[in-house]
Structure 1
């Protein structure tokens, strides 16, 4: 029975460790998110900006708040955010959801810390996110059943290999049987207590002699092998969540490619969930139709100086060929629009006809006119 209990403990420890490493990695990434309310292409500063980007409630900063939101979302497959009477956003620790076919679902018995709300919350009035990976917990439980058993046996083998073994020879010891037993036990206790110290001196007792059979240096399962098992489990969970394992383990090979995959297949879908929920629950249908919308940026947020310098040849082509206007390009890099930036301008390199919209050089007619003026002189 003790062995079964120990195996279960190993499985729970390894499972929680692997899940926490991966989920916290994603949650820390998303805690850097910036949420913007935009009116078409222009950012609008309202009270929502402060609540969503600075201080959602009295106890948490925005980064701590969103890190916990996404941790709860991935770990528990769902997360509920409700707004208090003071307009603070708080994360529910527990709740009961009542589902209806033709009416909005209702959340009851909502508990935040040690406080339970007496009133119900309707779906239209809350921010509710689902991860849609219900099998994560079940799959990892089954997976770590085998890994936990393997890890436990490797630890046992390592302990046995490094175990100090010895015998105690008992000669003629005076006294009663109880006195002999007590004297022997005291001698053994001094031995064990001495082995726990870097340097130990054990006095020799008459009639008792200690002989060492193994000094604990026998080669067995190495520490590196147990680390490899733990690394393999972290890798399996990373694949389930959509995180390239090389990023979790700090490997530098193909880091740019791994980062791109991480943003595309793990971060962007989670940001899209939050964007959709904010647009649906905070903005009205009329506001959305008029062009207002929330934009959530994290690692996918462009770095204007670095990215524009690297992409400058392509930016020039996009604007010069009238595929995009300057403000549309600026929006891609997270820059605000400027007056007159919505005008399309084609450079001479992309134009077949010389007209008033053409920019980028002098015309042949100008050269001919200048030559004619020079000749007349």
Structure 2
């Protein structure tokens, strides 16, 4: 199970891709179903039907993984079922996409209209009603426009009875900066719904450590808590869990150990934590050395009456 959860859940997915897909479905669909095949592979269901009961286990039927549909029925105790409990998120994203999409599209139309090149053609002594004359005139205008569009320096030949005048357009429309503000507003709404600090979304470097800590606390940790509780309940028996066997999920550590060295020394030397406990909090595995499970304390933390009579062992 350790190999399945951390290295290769199934033949077609790595562990990182697997959990990324789980979180995506959990946010987008508000739920995610993971089943175990006969070969002990962990598979993410693309479609299923849940039959809920009040006093017995719920059932899952019509479980489909890509192009394969299981004919059997899965019980709740046989699967890993995660719920996000944020049903309004999908509606929020869909609503924002519709509203902001329409608004951004409108702003793009204004921007194109504002920067559009317009010109007029005056004709004198030309029979505009003659089809051949109209065709030759239109071909000339097309070639002239193509030359102006593609070349940085274009020369327009003067024709008798034919005058080309380019008109400047002064229509006030939205600027590119305003369009960017609208786009950022959409991202900000979604980020707030997920608990992601706005500063991280926009790449701001001020107080990045504080923003990262808030991101881990309010966005990442709730997902890890849901996954941990479900894995504990499905993969570990009740008696083993009460005896201390639990699933351990470590989030990504963003701190430099050298920056934490002084704090680690104080935690260990004061006898507050063992060295193995500190290793776990720092995101590393426990050591098999039994000495690292012992509490140690330096002489600086001894009682005053012990120091008055001299040093003690």
Does the pair score TM above 0.5?
yes
The reply to whether residue 155 of structure 1 matches residue 122 of structure 2 is no
Separation (CA, whole Å) in 2 of partners of 1:318 and 1:229: 53
Deviations 1:248-268 (A, max 9, x none): 110011111111111111101
Which of 264, 267, 277 is the matching residue for 1:312?
A: 264
Q: Which residue in 1 is equivalent to 2:167? A: 213
Equivalent residue runs for 1:246-325 within 5 Å: 246-299=199-252, 301=253, 305-306=257-258, 308-319=260-271, 323-325=272-274
Q: 2:178 aligned with 1:225, yes or no?
A: yes
The alpha-carbon distance between structure 1 residues 147 and 365, as it changes in their structure 2 partners (threshold 3 A), is closer
8 Å CA contact retained: 1:304, 1:335: no
Aligned partner of residue 103 in structure 2, secondary structure: helix
- Taking the aligned partners of 1:165 and 1:129, their CA distance within structure 2 comes to 58
2:81 match = 128
Q: Hey, what does 2:291 align to over in structure 1?
A: 340
CA distance in 2, matches of 1:170, 1:276: 81
Q: C-alpha distance in 2, partners of 1:265/1:364?
A: 51
1:190, 1:202 within 8 Å by CA — same for their partners in 2? no
CA shift, 1:90, in A, is 1.7
Distance across 2 between alignment mates of 1:327 and 1:282: 25
Question: Structure 1 residues 64 and 78, CA, compared in 2 at 3 Å: closer, same or farther?
Answer: same
CA contact (8 A) 1:326 1:341 kept: yes
Q: Report the Cα offset of residue 316 of structure 1.
A: 3.8
Does residue 328 (structure 1) correspond to residue 277 (structure 2)? The answer is yes
Q: Which one of the candidate residues 101, 120, 128 is aligned to 2:54?
A: 101
1:269 offset after TM fit, Å? 0.7
User: How far apart, in 2, do the equivalents of 1:189 and 1:264 lie?
Assistant: 61
| CA-to-aligned-CA distance 1:73-125 (integer Å, 9 cap, x gap) | 11221111112222211211121111111221112222222222222222111
Question: Aligned-pair distance for 1:133?
Answer: 1.0
Q: What is aligned with 1:89?
A: 42
1:206/1:258 CA distance change after superposition, 3 Å: same
Partner of 1:234: 187
Q: Any idea what SS the aligned residue of 1:295 has?
A: coil
Question: 199-208 or 342-351, which moves further after superposition?
Answer: 199-208
Q: Answer whether contact 1:184 1:208 (CA < 8 A) is retained.
A: no
Give the deviation of 1:303 after TM superposition.
Answer: 5.7
Unaligned ranges ≥5, structure 2: none
Q: Name the SS of the counterpart of 1:226 in structure 2.
A: helix
**Partner secondary structure for residue 276 of structure 1:** helix
How many pairs are equivalent? 308
The 1:248–1:182 alpha-carbon spacing in structure 2 relative to 1, beyond 3 Å, is: same
Q: 1:179 to 1:270 in 2, by over 3 A?
A: same
| Secondary structure at 1:232 match in 2 | helix
Cα shift at 1:351: 2.8
* SS of equivalent to 2:122: strand
Deviations 1:5-46 (A, max 9, x none): xxxxxxxxxxxxxxxxxxxxxxxxxxxxxxxxxxxxxxxxxx
1: CA distance, partners of 2:7 / 2:18: 10
RMSD between aligned alpha carbons?
A: 2.8
Query: Contact 2:58–2:75 at 8 Å: present in 1 too?
Result: yes
Measure the CA separation in 2 of the matches of 1:241 and 1:180.
Answer: 65
Return the structure number with greater relative CO, CA threshold 8 A, min gap 6.
1
Taking the aligned partners of 2:59 and 2:141, their CA distance within structure 1 comes to: 67
Task: Report the TM-score when normalising by structure 2.
Answer: 0.86
